Structure 1
Amino acid sequence: MRLLIRAFVFGSLVLNMSMLSQAQKVAVKSGVAQANITPPVGCRLAGHFYEIISTGIHDSLWAKAIVLQQGNEKYAFVFCDLIGITTDISSKARTMASERTRIPISHIIVAATHSHTGPLFYGFQRNYFHDKALQKGGDPHEKNDYPAFLEEQIASAVTNANASMTTVKLEVLIGTENFSHNRRYHMKDGTVMFNPGPLNPNIVSPAGPVDPDVEMLMVRDAKSNNALSGLTVFGMHADCVGGTDIGADYPYYLEQSLKAYFGKNYFSAFGLGPCGDVNHIDVTKDLPIYDSVYPQQFGKALASTVIGNVSKMKTVKAPALAMLSQKVLLPLQVPTQQQVDSARIIINGLYEAKETGAYVKNAGGEAGDFLKRVEMSKYLNLAQRRQTIEEEVQVLRIDNETAIVGLPGEIFAELGLSIKRASPFKNTIVITVCNNRTSYIPTRKAFAEGSYEVTNSIVMPGSGEMLVDTAIALLRKLKPAH
């Protein structure tokens, strides 16, 4: 298959050193705002291959916007406490925000924190359960048009942030943590297994790395030096608590801890680093997979890393904000008609087995029919798509040393590390699940090894490397010449 890449370069790129020098002398401004995106109790929860209904609210979900400006150019990030977002929703929200603020659409990134205790509002599972409910006379678990509500809240957050701009200075911190784990393991039988379970005697070694970096972009008031807001980025699945209460998982406790230190008005945003194959489960210990104490434990640990390194934060002395964006056409897997027809039959049987109790979990924490349900769902999902999907890679330069990369989907840790290794910038912060939660985007190596993430991926092998190459090319274009 011939792979096509269509590039659109946006934004204001400084092309010579004299212009760059002038840009560095222009003050940076920033504004923040958040909009509540908590769904009604009784909605379906996302991140599962069976139906889970919410029964309460642990903490509210938010769309948090940070707008940065230097000169006439503005850039906006929105971080949503959701498992993901679709291109359709993010495109509408970005367009609405752009029309209200005149921030170019290509300068707006809408990202998800990947909380597994947020609403299920798109995708095959949502459509399956919704259609089943309608066949019975109505869907009691969808009390509002959540996508339309979400689009408006995202646009409102950007609009309000844009209206609250103040002169600031920026700081950058790169710390480390050690509580995340690659969840794919080489087994004694030669296979690779996802979440093989605590103390599994057949585990040989992890099948991939983690990225231990805890990264922060701090925004301080230019006059008082007070901490106004911050973006913390870390790569670990926000799927620690389980249960049926709506909540943001560990980013909520990160926020609470940072507010306790920096002040109640401090604005904390969280971006998910590459962690398609990374979670919190330590298979060397006999501990429960989910626990209500985990989000608090991990959120506080991240905050402690930030707080403990406040004195080491480096001031961005010569800011030179600029952004480039490029569209990439990724090839999708194409199921056969027989696979699609079989999936329609099999998937109903699998869900009925779950509803009637014919669903037994094995020692690895997966259901006996789990991978089959994943595979059948994927075929039905792909049957509704074309053979390619257009995704967007965005890169924002902060200064000569720091850049932020926005990628779609659930990116494997190794792909993010590849970008960092090849980047011409000293500090490269990679944020995932931006503008679209494509699906899992594994490495070529992982595709050959198989297991859950590969079974659940809709893209062809090599798609992740295409995104990596695109990000590196944009980083190199944004790196000023010496």
Structure 2
Amino acid sequence: MYNFKDMKYVTKSLGLLLCLIVTLAISCKDQHPEKLKGGVALMNITPPVGARLAGHFYEAFSTGVHDSIWAKAIVLEQGNQKFAFVFCDLIGITRDISTQARKLASTATEIPLQNILVAATHSHTGPLFYGFQHTYFHNKAIADDGVDEHEKADYPDFLIHQIEKAVVKANESVMPISIEAGVGREDGLSFNRRYYMKNGTVLFNPGPLNPDIVGPAGPIDPEVGILLLRNAGSKDYMGGLTVFAMHADCIGGTKMSADYPYYLEQTLKKKFGQQFFSAFSLGPAGDINDVDIKKDQPIYSDSNTQKIGSTLGQVVIQAVPELKRITQPSFASFSSKILVPLQVPSRAQIDSADVLINNLYKVSQTGAYIRNAGGESGDFLKRVEMSKYLALKDQKPAVDAEVQVFRIDSRTAIVGLPGEIFSELGLDLKKRSPFENTIVMTVCNDRISYIPTIKAFKEGSYEVTNSIIKPGGGEMLVETAVKLLKEAKDGLK
């Protein structure tokens, strides 16, 4: 006959044993997470010589190739989680192009679309292939000549498939790796290009040695975000990602170029070997460039661009001993789309822009524009304002902006934001992030122009004139990113 009292103790003991087994299993899983894998690949996206150049408010054409421009893909894998990041040497990327590329890449690799990010490095010596100016010049060429000699091929279609191929190739090359993450610091390369003036105004790039300058109107972010990928069981680095907040608008000229990220790459290859894969992403740099107004020197030069890239490369190299290896990876992705209100030009503003723009874009005006481009001449800001009105005339009242967060481990997270985010917004995001190491990347998945702070909107100047969003849109993006970061951190508990 069963002794129910004894059975009660047996059942309780079995229950405790089962709990112990489960606890040990979870503990073992935590101590031995799925191994990391990674792959890299790049595809050439350099258009033919003669293509229109981006980064201007007049029509300019490439006259050669200083260095090829690329779509560079990194695929990271932990267990059933995969991320794909693509970095293109372009001034921007449109939502339509990035979405098509992400869909094709997702279908080909089975990486979820929300786990794929396509960013532009914001190079000002890449092709002009979208936006009002592109459409205007393209249509004008066809109307005048019956053909656009500067755009014989469909560059957006070419770009979409090159991005897809880069992700596919990177995915096919995944192998066991280790990841090292951290930050370096460089205080001497970047400058806030908005300045308080003695007359109470704020000016963008007010000119070197200008005696009317009081001081910068905003901060810089000197941090250099670093991820290095090492082949498992090897001392050799496969490649890495460098993130820095400064406009890629240093080299100038009319030859295609990735700008200073090219020289960053050359510096890292010299140190780590020619096989090293160097990707670059732009940090929050909407109001940051390389112009030191305390020095009377050319705004654009190859030598200074080389110095910038080499200096950044040395920052990465010197940071290597301080980087921390990801030993407990916990990959997870989080994303959210929010409606960011856009400015709505009046009918009168649009009609006025239609009349003025034809005169402002005349080739005969180019010389005058170039002479005035270093400051806020009426001609310069008029081009900016008129172009914005015409770009907005067919837009909806709000843009569907995507914010992405990728958790790497309990210390490190990557944020992807659209547009040219002001440095103050990026610094605020980092400060409020629950992660020790938060890497903020911008110009991701869509172009929504400049993203100033509410404070900057009140102060005006070039970036505000060129912004298409309403005041407060940048703060909305930051709030969304912080919310996703907290969600990512809470998921570890």
Q: State if a TM-score over 0.5 links the two structures.
A: yes
Report the Cα distance in structure 2 between the residues aligned to 1:230 and 1:17, rounded to whole angstroms: 36
Match of 1:246 among 242, 249, 256: 256
CA contact (8 A) 1:182 1:208 kept: yes
In structure 2, what is the equivalent of residue 332 of structure 1?
Answer: 342
Displacement of 1:459 after TM fit? 0.5
CA contact (8 A) 2:291 2:299 kept: yes
Report the Cα distance in structure 2 between the residues aligned to 1:217 and 1:387, rounded to whole angstroms: 38
| Residues 356/259 of structure 1: CA separation in 2 closer, same or farther (3 Å cut) | closer
Radius of gyration: which is bigger? 2
| Residues 20/319 of structure 1: CA separation in 2 closer, same or farther (3 Å cut) | farther
Report the Cα distance in structure 2 between the residues aligned to 1:20 and 1:451, rounded to whole angstroms: 56
The C-alpha deviation readout for 1:102-153, integer Å capped at 9, x for no partner, is: 0000000000000000000000110111111111121111021000000000
TM-score normalized by the length of structure 2:
0.92
Aligned residue identity for 2:143: Q
Report the Cα distance in structure 1 between the residues aligned to 2:386 and 2:432, rounded to whole angstroms: 37
In structure 2, what is the equivalent of residue 201 of structure 1?
Answer: 211
Match of 2:29 among 4, 14, 22: 22
| Residues 295/355 of structure 1: CA separation in 2 closer, same or farther (3 Å cut) | same
| Residues 89/356 of structure 1: CA separation in 2 closer, same or farther (3 Å cut) | closer
Matches within 5 A, 1:180-259: 180-259=190-269
| Alignment of 1:161 onto 2:184 | no
| Alignment of 1:391 onto 2:390 | no
Q: Classify the secondary structure of the residue corresponding to 2:430.
A: helix
In structure 2, what is the equivalent of residue 280 of structure 1?
Answer: 290
Report the Cα distance in structure 2 between the residues aligned to 1:329 and 1:170, rounded to whole angstroms: 35
Report the Cα distance in structure 2 between the residues aligned to 1:222 and 1:272, rounded to whole angstroms: 28
Displacement of 1:365 after TM fit? 3.8
Report the Cα distance in structure 2 between the residues aligned to 1:466 and 1:61, rounded to whole angstroms: 33
Matches within 5 A, 1:272-421: 272-352=282-362, 354-355=364-365, 357=367, 359=369, 361-362=371-372, 364-421=374-431
Report the Cα distance in structure 2 between the residues aligned to 1:370 and 1:266, rounded to whole angstroms: 41
In structure 2, what is the equivalent of residue 11 of structure 1?
Answer: none
| Alignment of 1:432 onto 2:442 | yes
CA contact (8 A) 2:203 2:376 kept: no
The C-alpha deviation readout for 1:413-443, integer Å capped at 9, x for no partner, is: 0010011000000010000000012100000
In structure 2, what is the equivalent of residue 13 of structure 1?
Answer: none
Report the Cα distance in structure 1 between the residues aligned to 2:55 and 2:116, rounded to whole angstroms: 26
Aligned residue identity for 1:215: G
Question: Mean Cα displacement is larger for which, 351-360 or 175-184?
Answer: 351-360
Structure 1 gaps, min length 5: 1-15
Match of 2:44 among 36, 52, 74: 36
Report the Cα distance in structure 2 between the residues aligned to 1:28 and 1:356, rounded to whole angstroms: 52
Displacement of 1:351 after TM fit? 1.6
Aligned residue identity for 1:27: K
Displacement of 1:316 after TM fit? 1.2
Q: Classify the secondary structure of the residue corresponding to 2:152.
A: coil
| Alignment of 1:442 onto 2:439 | no
| Alignment of 1:128 onto 2:136 | yes
| Residues 267/475 of structure 1: CA separation in 2 closer, same or farther (3 Å cut) | same
Q: Classify the secondary structure of the residue corresponding to 2:361.
A: helix
Report the Cα distance in structure 2 between the residues aligned to 1:478 and 1:365, rounded to whole angstroms: 43
The C-alpha deviation readout for 1:262-302, integer Å capped at 9, x for no partner, is: 11111110010000000000001111111111221100000
| Residues 84/357 of structure 1: CA separation in 2 closer, same or farther (3 Å cut) | closer
Displacement of 1:359 after TM fit? 4.4
| Residues 57/358 of structure 1: CA separation in 2 closer, same or farther (3 Å cut) | closer
Report the Cα distance in structure 2 between the residues aligned to 1:471 and 1:19, rounded to whole angstroms: 30
CA contact (8 A) 2:451 2:467 kept: yes
In structure 1, what is the equivalent of residue 110 of structure 2?
Answer: 102
Aligned residue identity for 1:152: H
In structure 2, what is the equivalent of residue 174 of structure 1?
Answer: 183
CA contact (8 A) 2:204 2:376 kept: no
CA contact (8 A) 1:20 1:320 kept: no
Q: Classify the secondary structure of the residue corresponding to 1:193.
A: strand
Count of aligned pairs between the two proteins: 467
Aligned residue identity for 1:60: S
Displacement of 1:381 after TM fit? 0.5
Report the Cα distance in structure 2 between the residues aligned to 1:21 and 1:401, rounded to whole angstroms: 20
**What's the RMSD between the two structures over aligned residues?**
1.7
| Residues 26/205 of structure 1: CA separation in 2 closer, same or farther (3 Å cut) | same
Q: Classify the secondary structure of the residue corresponding to 1:150.
A: helix
Report the Cα distance in structure 1 between the residues aligned to 2:436 and 2:478, rounded to whole angstroms: 17
Aligned residue identity for 1:31: G
Report the Cα distance in structure 2 between the residues aligned to 1:387 and 1:420, rounded to whole angstroms: 29
In structure 2, what is the equivalent of residue 81 of structure 1?
Answer: 89
CA contact (8 A) 2:180 2:325 kept: yes
Superposed structure 1 runs of 4+ greater than 4 Å apart: 16-21, 356-360
The C-alpha deviation readout for 1:351-389, integer Å capped at 9, x for no partner, is: 227447554734944544010110011000110111011
Question: Mean Cα displacement is larger for which, 344-353 or 131-140?
Answer: 344-353
Report the Cα distance in structure 2 between the residues aligned to 1:459 and 1:368, rounded to whole angstroms: 22
Report the Cα distance in structure 2 between the residues aligned to 1:363 and 1:375, rounded to whole angstroms: 14
Higher relative contact order (CA 8 A, sep 6+): 1
Q: Which has the higher helix share?
A: 2
The C-alpha deviation readout for 1:3-57, integer Å capped at 9, x for no partner, is: xxxxxxxxxxxxx999797366111100110000000000000011001110000
Report the Cα distance in structure 2 between the residues aligned to 1:356 and 1:66, rounded to whole angstroms: 40
In structure 2, what is the equivalent of residue 48 of structure 1?
Answer: 56
CA contact (8 A) 2:94 2:447 kept: yes
Question: Mean Cα displacement is larger for which, 98-107 or 133-142?
Answer: 133-142
Report the Cα distance in structure 2 between the residues aligned to 1:155 and 1:20, rounded to whole angstroms: 39
